[in-house]
Amino acid sequence: MLASITRLVSPRAAQAAQATRSGRPRTVTNLSYTAQTPTAYNQRLRAARQRAAIYDVEIQKKLAISAACVIFALLGMPVAIRYPRGGVGLVIGTSLAVFSVYYVGLIGGEELGNRLIVSPFLAMWTPNIIFLIVAIPLLLSVRRAGSTAHGGDWDELKEALFGWVGRIRKAIYRMRNTKYEMRN
């Protein structure tokens, strides 16, 4: 199982660019390959890997966009339940924000994957992972006993998404004060 995950996540070379067969070096019978310098060979190898990466990125892109529908539903449910009286502004604003961030992440990931900077799997699935990480706390906040569909405003949405930042700042402040009091 770990090998299959590693195979998905790590960049793969094209089959045509592999230099060995069955553990032994391949003998080259074409004289045009023997006259190449190591730099030219590396350039051809890199070009073959990039051509293969383009196809890997497209495959992962199709799978990631399909999974995005489920992740968008997981993100949209808590927003709809928690803020039923948010109105059209909340719906359109949230939709545009989610779509814009997802689209930028998808296009940026595609470029990084095509250039072999990031593996095709991570390049295409990173926006889904980011939105899943945002959706899980929202789902948990709706599930809590105190959270009802009372109709919130933008401040409550901001608190639900970024409330952890303030809690971390307060904890750090308390730790600093405790260290200072211990010194005195």
C-alpha 62 chain-centroid distance: 14
Task: Give residue 154's pLDDT.
Answer: 63
Q: Which residues of 94-127 are buried (b: 16+ CB within 10 A; e: fewer)?
A: beeebeeebeebbeebbebbbebebbbbbbbbbb
Q: Is the pTM of this model over 0.75?
A: no
Contact 10, 119 (CB under 8 A): yes
Domain ranges of the chain: 44-169
pLDDT per 10-residue tile (average), the chain, 184 residues: 67 47 51 66 86 91 94 88 76 88 94 91 94 89 62 66 83 82 68
Task: Give residue 49's pLDDT.
Answer: 87
Whole-angstrom CA distances from 37 to 27, 31, 33, 42, 132 are 16, 13, 9, 9, 48
Task: Give residue 131's pLDDT.
Answer: 94
Task: Give residue 5's pLDDT.
Answer: 67
Task: Give residue 11's pLDDT.
Answer: 58
- The Cβ of residue 131 has, within 10 Å, a number of other Cβ atoms equal to 19
Task: Give residue 112's pLDDT.
Answer: 93
Task: Give residue 14's pLDDT.
Answer: 42
Task: Give residue 133's pLDDT.
Answer: 93
Task: Give residue 152's pLDDT.
Answer: 57
Q: Under 8 Å CB-to-CB from 44, ≥6 apart: which residues? A: 17, 36
Tokens for 17, please give them: 């660019």
Contact 8, 64 (CB under 8 A): no
